[in-house]
Structure 1
Amino acid sequence: MAAAKRAGLSIRAAAKKIGITENALRERIKSGRVVKSILPDGSINAATIVEEYNSTLDVSKARANRSAPVPGAVGFARLKQMKLATDLQISRENLARMKGETVSVEEARAEISTFARLHRDGCLNFASRYGGQIAAEIGADAAAAIAAIDKYMRLHLEETATSSVPFVGGGDGE
């Protein structure tokens, strides 16, 4: 009695192609973890079985005698590894914050604004504070020197006020 012609591989041939036992593949089919590669005649599609097997593989439960995970497997184990790496990064950032090694963006912006305000005030007071000494040093009229220095200092501050600072006020540096 001749066997009917199959469109795909037998379970035994598919298991051999994947590199697992026939019973392991039968269990995966029975549990519903491998269903897309099963053809209507019950045979297994040779082109998709390895990819489907790898996508449903839980490498963390693989036996110790397997030398390496199946190539191309991006299943549960890789996702678990990525989650652990993310959790580790979050823990490191929280620890650095608790130790005071980092500051929040809001705190940094507040400190930058305070420094900028102090610098601006210092620039505005520069002419009245040092103008007389500068005028005496160069032999000029003190009032005229103070007025000229004040005029150009204010012009400079107006020019710098229009330039954008990326890390203050939600600019492009975020």
Structure 2
Amino acid sequence: METSSKSAFARRLSLSKSRVSQLVAQGMPVNEDGSIPVAEALRWFRANVGTQRGPATASPGAGDLTEEKARLTKIQADRAQLELEARRGDLVPTAIAKRVVGTVARVHRDATLAFAARRGPELAGKWGMAPRQVVADLDAALRVMLEELAAEPIPFPDDLSEPGEGAQP
């Protein structure tokens, strides 16, 4: 678990150290030694920042400025969280993920298409049928299956987190 001093955490979010101390007093996670558990604190910050309005909103126009500051701070916290997850290796760049998924899909498709030629004669012998016909029928059926799979949209859940981390069943 990555930890940070209050000063370093304040710099990460472009806040003052005293503001971080205020947030700790409001419930932001802090370790016994006074260090900040970064991931937990960022989650708390994103969930709680801007939910409390101080006296600044009482003056005309101050609400807009306060809301904009809260929005900016929340964006900075989100960015810091993403950077932390990237450093930990929890995030994979989209281009790499697409390349890997494409490679896996091609390998699977090629293996599926080769199945008829590799196993057809063996199956024909077991079934007492002409190998050429079994290979042709298997090949045609597998091609239809692959075309149907390619036409079917892949459903993605709204929540792509790992099981046990908030994923919906």
Query: CA separation in 1, counterparts of 2:118 and 2:63?
Result: 69
1:108 to 93, 97, 119: 97
> After the TM superposition, which residues 58-73 of structure 1 pair with which residues of structure 2 at under 5 Å, given as runs?
69-70=57-58
Percent identity at matched positions? 28
Deviation (angstroms), 1:155? 3.2
* 1:148 partnered with 2:114: no
* Greater relative CO, 1 or 2 (CA 8 Å, sep 6+): 2
TM-score (norm 2): 0.50
Match of 1:41 in 2: none
Match of 1:137 in 2: 126
Query: Aligned pair in 2 of structure 1 residues 86, 127: CA closer, same or farther (>3 Å)?
Result: same
Once the two structures are superposed, what CA deviation does each residue of 1:8-45 show, in whole Å capped at 9, x if it has no partner?
A: xxxxxxxxxxxxxxxxxxxxxxxxxxxxxxxxxxxxxx
Once the two structures are superposed, what CA deviation does each residue of 1:103-140 show, in whole Å capped at 9, x if it has no partner?
A: 12211111111111011101110101211232233222
2:74 to 79, 85, 105: 85
Q: Secondary structure at the match of 1:74?
A: helix
Query: Aligned pair in 2 of structure 1 residues 77, 158: CA closer, same or farther (>3 Å)?
Result: closer
Match of 2:47 in 1: none
Amino acid at match of 1:70: A
1:118 to 107, 110, 123: 107
Match of 1:13 in 2: none
Amino acid at match of 2:145: H
Task: List alignment gaps of at least 5 residues for structure 2.
Answer: 1-52, 157-169
Q: Secondary structure at the match of 1:75?
A: helix
Query: CA separation in 2, counterparts of 1:100 and 1:164?
Result: 29
Amino acid at match of 2:58: V
For structure 1, which segment, 68-77 or 102-111, has the greater mean C-alpha deviation from structure 2 after superposition?
Answer: 68-77
For structure 1, which segment, 88-97 or 143-152, has the greater mean C-alpha deviation from structure 2 after superposition?
Answer: 143-152
TM-score (norm 1): 0.49
Task: List alignment gaps of at least 5 residues for structure 1.
Answer: 1-58, 63-67, 168-174
Deviation (angstroms), 1:92? 0.4
